[in-house]
């Protein structure tokens, strides 16, 4: 039996915040860690959309996880907005390190995303 795939975007790869999450997910999913452009500020939205579209199509995930540190919230918002446009039918779970509850709220409610009835938000 093959496992469903989960795609993980670690917006703060230097801190490797997604390691624990990946370890937990690996018992239930085939986990794919996706590369995030080093500077989302320099990336144009259309180019970023194309890159993410390719990564998502290549992986074919059932779920997408976005993991961020509190100092990468702005980049995470951009990435989350583009993922929402590129893959609107795939559930995205965004997490921020444990010491950033206000930033987590900010990330989950960006003005560019309209929550669907099927979305679940836990803070």
For domain 5-108, give the CATH number.
Answer: 3.40.50
- Give the pLDDT confidence score for residue 50 in this predicted structure: 86
- Give the pLDDT confidence score for residue 62 in this predicted structure: 93
pLDDT-flagged residues of the chain (< 50) = 110-112, 116-123
Which of 75, 59, 101 lies closest to 14 in space, CA to CA?
A: 75
Domain ranges within the chain, ordered by starting residue = 5-108
- Give the pLDDT confidence score for residue 87 in this predicted structure: 92
């Amino acid at each position: 039996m093959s496992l469903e795939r989960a795609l993980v975007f670690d917006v703060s790869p230097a801190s490797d915040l997604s390691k624990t999450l990946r370890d937990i997910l690996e018992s239930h999913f085939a986990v794919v860690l996706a590369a995030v452009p080093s500077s989302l500020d320099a990336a144009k939205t259309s180019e970023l959309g194309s890159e993410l579209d390719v990564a998502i199509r290549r992986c074919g995930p059932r779920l997408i996880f976005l993991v961020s540190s509190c100092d990468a919230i702005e980049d995470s918002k951009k990435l989350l907005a583009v993922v929402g446009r590129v893959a609107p039918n795939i559930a995205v779970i965004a997490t921020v390190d444990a010491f950033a509850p206000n930033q987590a709220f900010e990330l989950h409610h960006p003005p560019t995303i309209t929550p669907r009835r099927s979305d679940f938000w836990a803070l």
